[in-house]
Chain A
């Protein structure tokens, strides 16, 4: 299977973006998918949203997933995030096979191991910024005093210390997304998954978000998997998986020779980078 041959963590380690990171041998694998498949039934026709995807992601990597709509990239993200169950194959995160978790344990996995950021932020509209950040800690039964302290610290990290008591609708898109990042960080997850995180942001806010993601990777060794169309995001990923028809078409390492052998569509996207 061609897709299983691409994407080892060592490739990512060689990427220029990861020079500051540790040596390849010392970087533990955080996410591994093995022959992952997901089929949906549309009436009597089974549609393969994902068809044999095997990828490996190491700690501290920033991974992009690109592809046309319907290619299965969001499905891949949902399977890694434990929001959906595969029809076939396995997802292993931090050494735990998600297939062995029951529904309650899977919710707990999402709570403690995964952070989600969405295109439209999906903050709780009735809660203030700091309350939104505290929410997952509340679900994890973190004591109230500790929650407040940590949420405050995280909002400082994302640069929103002056906006803590604002409601989401009083914040700009970029600010809301930074609250969402702080929320995603609240239970110190292994991986943060982003589904078009810059999709609703202007380019300035998008760049600022990527700066933040880079800073978090550098300072907290957080791993990111970002589904995106945005060249600004793609340019700053360590590795990018290009997905087409539910399969990994290619693995791209931006700003290298590798990136020059691209499909027309991929080239178009990459052209804007240089």
Chain B
């Protein structure tokens, strides 16, 4: 019967206040699920972005001697290992504001390896490609900047390359005077594609470079680098034949841990780190958190569902005689079910829509309370890193999450309607008509 939805709607409208209370149970559940899902989604999205920025390759090989040796594999925070062992070796890099100076000092002091390790690593079985880089501090137009010399061809293969949003990538050569800069750096220093800049190891002097492209990483820290051809970088910083890290891609992605172990074992003085071996437990933890939050949300929805059951039972008891009359005039069990299921479905739909509206509002408002909304605007590397943590608290609302939360609301409404509707359909018409 096409009018069962209309009947359901009017029946809910007639008892507005009760409907509002019933619906609010679903609203709370749906909103909670939506916020929690968008929070966990936001967190894992940002954590992945962070890991990708700091260690873009499957395996990162660094010097294992000297000051960095203790910090990289054992100490420090695993998430920050990657870009040139010593970079985040100390806790200073994590501390947030005021860390920029410490950070730069560490960067400057990172130990390098002889470039010969690159071919040694490349010759190992299971290694698809080994791409050397040289990280260093330097100056762009007299302003301090992080310089990274890369071999554009192998770098792309080992790490997936830079995400160029403007202009082009570096030409496939380890020499030349091309420069690719991050979006933040470009904005801060007024650089654009075609800009000619002076790049050097100190604030005065250096060579002329042309900015050929601008890349984006999606976070403030990752966009403060300037990429240039490796050999050119070695010349500028006077570190000929030296590399600071080697990015390695394994032939078989499932063998990353083994390949990493073999590099450390067979090549003296280096240490290979596979972030995935660290992020595995982190991912598992995130999974546990997601499960935990989902259970809380589902429990809230379940409570809302019981509210619907309760209201529907009340409504059916009030309308006993009406149900008896419906049966008397020839409504079958299925038709009675349909009438009451329509009501439950509508409660679910209204609750789902309202829950999504409330949930999205909370998700959008949340960053302003945690301060995460301002993280992308802070300047200074330390603040940028700290901001990444706060950014992790900013929820990401995706259409999938909205649909899922809404759908859960509808499903709970419909499920909660089944028993009351079934009870109504099974009523004895003689008894029901006698009901006062």
A contacts, CB < 8 Å to B = 78, 81, 83-84, 103-104, 107-112, 114-116, 118, 120, 122, 124-127, 131, 134-136, 138-140, 144, 183-184, 187
- B2 near A110 with CB under 8 A, answer no
For A115, what are the chain B residues with a Cβ–Cβ distance below 8 Å?
329
Contacts of B330 in A (CB 8 A): 107-112, 114, 136, 139-140, 187
Q: When A107-B327, A118-B433 are in contact, do A126 and B335 touch as well, CB less than 8 Å?
A: no
Q: Contact between A138 and B327 (Cβ–Cβ < 8 Å)? A: no
Q: Is the CB of A83 within 8 A of B335?
A: no
Spell out B's residues near A (CB within 8 Å).
1-3, 7, 10-11, 14, 321-322, 324-333, 335, 429-430, 433
- Smallest beta-carbon distance B196→chain A, Å: 76
B-chain residues with CB within 8 Å of residue A118 when the two chains form the complex: 325, 328, 433
In the A-B complex, the 7 residue pairs with the closest CB atoms:
A111-B330, A122-B325, A126-B10, A107-B332, A138-B1, A110-B330, A116-B328
Q: In the complex, A109 Cα to B329 Cα: how many Å?
A: 10
Residue of B nearest to A184 (CB): B329
- A residues less than 8 Å from B328 (CB atoms): 81, 83, 110, 116, 118, 122
- Chain A residues in 8 Å Cβ range of B429: 83-84
Q: Contact at A127–B7, with CB atoms within 8 Å?
A: yes
Bound together, the chains give a CA A125 to CA B323 distance in angstroms of: 12
Cβ-defined contact, B3 with A138, below 8 A: yes
Please name the residue on chain B nearest to A83 by beta carbon. B429
Report the Cα distance A126→B7, complex, angstroms: 7
B322 → A minimal CB distance (Å): 6
Complex Cα spacing A171 to B13, Å = 20
When chains A and B are docked, how far (Å) is the Cα of A134 from the Cα of B325?
Answer: 15
- Residues from chain B with Cβ under 8 Å of A139 in the complex: 1, 329-332, 335
Q: Which residue of A lies closest to B432 (CB)?
A: A83
Q: How many Å lie between the Cα of A213 and that of B267 in the bound state?
A: 106
Supplied contacts A83-B328, A104-B332, A183-B329, 16 more A-B pairs, CB within 8 Å: A83-B433, A107-B332, A107-B333, A109-B330, A110-B328, A110-B329, A111-B329, A111-B330, A112-B330, A118-B325, A122-B433, A126-B14, A127-B10, A138-B1, A138-B3, A144-B2
B321 surroundings in chain A (CB, below 8 A): 120, 122
Q: Are B332 and A124 in contact (CB under 8 A)?
A: no
In the assembled complex, the CB of B427 is this many whole angstroms from the nearest CB of chain A, namely 11
Closest to B13 in A: A126
Closest B residue, CB atoms, query A78: B430
Q: Which residues of chain B come closer than 8 Å to A111, judged between CB atoms?
A: 329-332
A141 to B326, alpha carbons, bound, how many Å? 15
Instruction: Among A114, A115, A122, A127, find the residue whose CB has the most chain B CB atoms closer than 10 A.
Output: A122
| A187: B residues at CB distance < 8 A | 330
A193 to B: closest C-beta gap in Å: 9
The winner among B7, B325, B333 for most chain A CB atoms within 10 A is B325
| Distance, CA A103 to CA B11, complexed state (A) | 28
Q: B14 near A107 (CB under 8 angstroms)? A: no
B329 touches A136 (CB 8 A): yes
A124-B7, A131-B3, A138-B2 in contact; A107/B322 too (CB < 8 A)? no
Scoring B333, B335, B429 by chain A CB atoms within 10 A of each residue's CB, the highest score goes to B429
B2 / chain A contacts, CB cutoff of 8 Å: 138, 144
A78 to B328, CA, bound (A): 9
Which of A84, A115, A138 has most chain B Cβ within 10 Å? A138
- A selection of 15 A-B contacts at a CB cut-off of 8 Å is A104-B332, A114-B330, A118-B328, A122-B324, A122-B328, A124-B7, A124-B325, A127-B3, A127-B10, A136-B330, A138-B3, A139-B331, A139-B335, A140-B330, A184-B329
Across-interface contacts of A126 in B (CB, < 8 A): 7, 10-11, 14
Q: CB-CB < 8 A to B1: which residues of A?
A: 138-139
Q: Enumerate chain A residues within 8 angstroms of B326, measured Cβ to Cβ.
A: 124
CA distance A135 to B329 in the complex (A): 9
Q: Find out whether the CB atom of A83 lies under 8 angstroms from the CB atom of B327.
A: yes
Smallest CB separation, B195 vs chain A (Å):
70
* Neighbouring A residues of B325 by C-beta, 8 Å: 116, 118, 122, 124
Give the distance in Å from the alpha carbon of A84 to the alpha carbon of B10 in the complex. Answer: 31
Q: Complex: how many Å from CA A184 to CA B329?
A: 7
Nearest-neighbour CB distance to chain A for B281, whole angstroms, equals 58
Give the distance to chain A from B378, nearest Cβ to Cβ, in Å.
58
Tell me the complex Cα distance, A144–B1, Å.
10
Chain B residue at minimum C-beta to C-beta distance from A104? B332
Query: In the bound complex, what is the Cα–Cα distance between A122 and B433 (angstroms)?
Result: 9
Query: Shortest CB–CB separation between residue A180 and chain B, in angstroms?
Result: 9
A114: which B residues are within 8 A, CB to CB? 330
Whether B331 lies near A107 (C-beta < 8 A) is yes
Q: Is A125 in contact with B430, judged by CB distance below 8 angstroms?
A: no
A109 to B331, CA, bound (A): 10
Give Cα A108–Cα B324 distance, bound, in whole angstroms: 15
B426: shortest Cβ distance to chain A, in Å? 10
Q: Does B430 lie within 8 Å of A110, measured CB to CB?
A: no
Measured in the bound complex, the distance between the Cα atoms of B14 and A134 in whole Å is: 21
Whole-angstrom distance between the Cβ of A174 and the nearest chain B Cβ = 18
Contact A110 B7 (CB under 8 A): no
Among B14, B322, B329, point to the contact of A116 (Cβ < 8 A). Answer: B329
Q: Which residues of chain A are near B14, meaning CB under 8 Å?
A: 125-126
CA A84 to CA B430, docked complex, whole Å: 7
